[in-house]
């Protein structure tokens, strides 16, 4: 684990594809607005889809942060 990486950011969001939280956040920062776009940005696709709820939560958090910053 990179020293600048908190344990939280090193956590896997998607176990099927080995996608970590930082990769999901990077995909969102690059413009992904749906889980399907996050999978595509990570060069993967949904398998069991158990991670989709977590991805949606992260998308909502990012939207909320942007909305809050714009106020």
Q: Which one of residues 16, 22, 26, 37 is an interface residue with ligand FES (CB under 6 A)?
A: 16
Between CA 63 and CA 19 the distance in angstroms is: 21
27, 14 in Cβ contact below 8 A? no
Question: Does 33 interact with ligand FES (rule: CB under 6 A)?
Answer: no
Taking Cα atoms as reference points, which of 13, 27, 62, 20 lies closest to residue 36?
Answer: 27
Question: Does 51 interact with ligand FES (rule: CB under 6 A)?
Answer: yes
Between CA 1 and CA 67 the distance in angstroms is: 32
Question: Does 14 interact with ligand FES (rule: CB under 6 A)?
Answer: yes
Question: Does 36 interact with ligand FES (rule: CB under 6 A)?
Answer: no
Measured from the CB atom, the residue of 40 and 50 that comes closer to ligand FES is 50
The footprint of ligand FES (CB under 6 A) covers 14-17, 46-51
């Amino acid at each position: 684990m990179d020293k600048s990486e908190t344990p939280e950011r090193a956590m896997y969001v998607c176990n099927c594809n080995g996608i970590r939280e930082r990769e999901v956040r990077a995909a969102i920062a690059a413009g992904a607005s749906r889980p399907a776009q996050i999978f595509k940005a990570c060069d993967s696709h949904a398998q069991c889809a158990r991670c989709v709820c977590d991805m949606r939560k992260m998308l909502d958090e990012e939207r909320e942060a942007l909305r809050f910053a714009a106020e």
